[in-house]
């Protein structure tokens, strides 16, 4: 036997339901629409001006309007969270007064609508983030630049990213948990198990984000609180089953559309949402996988220590600050076919490159270069990963000898996971 939930609505329950509904709408619109790929949130957002005014007037904060760091636990984010809390509280009180005046009763429908929004928002969001872990896109894979960086140069967030990028098994497993939980939320019958899975997953995410000072802590906390709101429907059953060892009865997750005609509309709407999301996600992840994992020039990939650098016929000593220290080619897993030059004074320059592996030429140009400058080098590969580069760079003639290291030259990435530790 199943139960259709019945609830006595007290004044506090009425206010809480409306507060949650309004806060959810204000929070999601428009910055939460990460699953709508074609949407530019800056075009439809009304929050910027009012949030800055609120933060300046009531919190005494100053804002850099060109760099608000929206979505990264910034002053702008906290100002908006407090603002929508105030607006939701005021709105819910006004809403209650209007309902009581006109004797309106639709709390069950409002609760169902709120839970439906929660299910789809949490589900679609975590499917996206889960897939980005499954395909090793969110944290990237362990790459040469991370391997060469020292622990002391990391902040907490970049240290976590390096940790997650090391193990494909662990990262992909956590991704599949989020994907499975997210898919389960898209269907009423599996809402409880989906929300329970994601509740556990999001506790882990929140603890990690706080512990490693990840700059999306409030984003993760909001998702955790949303899963708690979904589980709250089954809280009594959970206590009875897991703690009190009492029998429980299933609760029917109410449908948003109840009669025959509206159910057809609901099926069409749901099918359209899932079809759009599926097609959009396939396109999005195909492009991201292509841009992050395609490496047309594996023979050049390496962390090149500059052993000799000759400019215009003069050998540049290592004590010279603007001398090149190393060249990282395809060193970042986030951007294939990229090149980074580090100078002795630790200044770094970033480039995109193309190579002709038959003619052994490499052309590289600075990121975001409006002047379209292109530097052309030739190269030779000798024994023991020795490379010779020659060409013109900033109107000077360069001759460079490097010694390259690949992923196989580092202890961390050399062996991988082993079931038997002492078996060679």
Residue 134 lies in a domain: yes
Listed residues 267, 292, 317: the one ending a domain: 292
Please indicate, yes or no, if residue 5 is contained in any of the structural domains: no
Provide the pLDDT for residue 335. Answer: 86
What letter does residue 230 receive in the DSSP assignment? H
Domain annotation covers residue 277: yes
| Res. 38: pLDDT tops 90 | no
Q: Which two tokens stand for residue 96?
A: 């209650």
280 and 308 inside one domain: no
Q: Are residues 186 and 308 in the same domain?
A: no
What is the value of pTM for the model shown?
Answer: 0.92
Among 222, 207, 220, residue whose Cα is nearest residue 118: 222
Q: What is the pLDDT of residue 4?
A: 47
Residue 32 CA neighbour count, 13 Å, CB half: 23
HEC secondary structure over 318-371 = CCCCCCEEEEEECCCCCCCCEEEEEECCCCEEEEEEEEECCCCEEEEEECCCCC
Cα-Cα-Cα-Cα torsion 286, 289, 290, 293, nearest 10 degrees, comes to -160
Per-residue pLDDT of 255-307, as tens digits, reads 888 888 888 999 999 999 999 999 999 999 999 998 888 889 999 999 999 99
Q: What is the Cα–Cα distance from 26 to 392, expressed in whole angstroms?
A: 55
pLDDT at 3: 46
Total count of domains within the chain: 2
Indicate whether 344 belongs to any domain: yes
Q: Residues of the chain with pLDDT > 90: what percent?
A: 79
**How far is residue 210's CA from residue 27's CA, in Å, rounded to a whole number?**
21
pLDDT at 249: 86
Mean pLDDT of 311-329: 94
Tell me whether residue 190 is in a domain.
yes
Q: Which of 416, 406, 338, 417 is nearest to 148 (CA)?
A: 406
- Whether the pLDDT of residue 2 is over 80: the answer is no
- For 29, other C-beta atoms within 10 Å of its C-beta total 15
254/109 Cα distance (integer angstroms): 9
CB 85 within 8 A of CB 20: no
């Amino acid at each position: 036997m199943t139960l259709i939930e019945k609830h006595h609505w007290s004044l506090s329950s009425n206010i809480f339901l409306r507060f949650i509904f309004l806060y959810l709408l204000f929070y999601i619109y428009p910055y939460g629409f990460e699953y709508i790929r074609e949407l530019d949130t800056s075009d439809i957002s009304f929050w910027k001006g009012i949030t800055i005014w609120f933060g300046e007037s009531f919190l005494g904060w100053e804002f850099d309007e060109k760099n608000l760091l929206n979505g990264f636990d910034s002053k702008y984010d906290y100002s908006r969270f407090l603002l929508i809390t105030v607006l939701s509280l005021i709105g819910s009180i006004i809403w209650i007064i209007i309902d009581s005046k006109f004797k309106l009763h639709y709390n069950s429908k409002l609760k169902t609508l709120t839970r439906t929004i929660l299910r789809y928002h949490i589900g679609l969001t975590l499917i996206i983030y889960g897939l980005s872990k499954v395909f090793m896109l969110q944290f990237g894979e362990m790459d040469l630049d991370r391997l060469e960086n020292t622990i002391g140069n990391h902040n907490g967030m970049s240290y976590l990213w390096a940790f997650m990028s090391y193990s494909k098994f662990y990262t992909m497993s956590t991704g599949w948990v989020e994907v499975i939980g997210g898919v389960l939320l898209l269907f009423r019958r599996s809402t409880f198990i989906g929300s329970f899975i994601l509740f556990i997953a999001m506790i882990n995410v929140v603890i990690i984000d706080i512990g490693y000072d990840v700059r999306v802590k409030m984003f993760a906390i909001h998702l955790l609180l949303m899963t708690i709101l979904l589980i709250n429907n089954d809280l009594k059953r959970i206590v009875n089953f897991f703690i009190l060892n009492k029998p429980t009865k299933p609760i029917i997750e109410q449908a948003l559309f109840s009669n025959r005609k509206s159910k057809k509309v609901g099926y069409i709407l749901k099918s359209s949402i899932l079809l759009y999301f599926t097609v959009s996600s396939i396109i999005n992840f195909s492009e991201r996988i292509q841009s992050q994992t395609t490496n047309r020039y594996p023979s050049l990939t390496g962390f090149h220590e500059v052993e000799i650098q000759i400019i215009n016929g003069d050998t540049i000593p290592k004590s010279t600050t603007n001398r090149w220290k190393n060249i990282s080619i395809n060193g970042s897993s986030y951007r294939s076919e990229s090149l980074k030059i580090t100078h002795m004074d630790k200044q770094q320059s970033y480039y995109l490159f193309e190579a002709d592996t038959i003619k052994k030429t490499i052309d590289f140009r600075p990121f975001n270069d409006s002047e379209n400058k292109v530097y052309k080098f030739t190269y030779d590969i000798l024994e023991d990963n020795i490379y010779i580069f020659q060409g013109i760079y900033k109107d000077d003639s360069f001759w460079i000898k490097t010694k390259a290291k690949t992923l196989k030259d580092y202890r961390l990435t050399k062996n991988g996971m082993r079931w038997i530790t002492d078996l060679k």
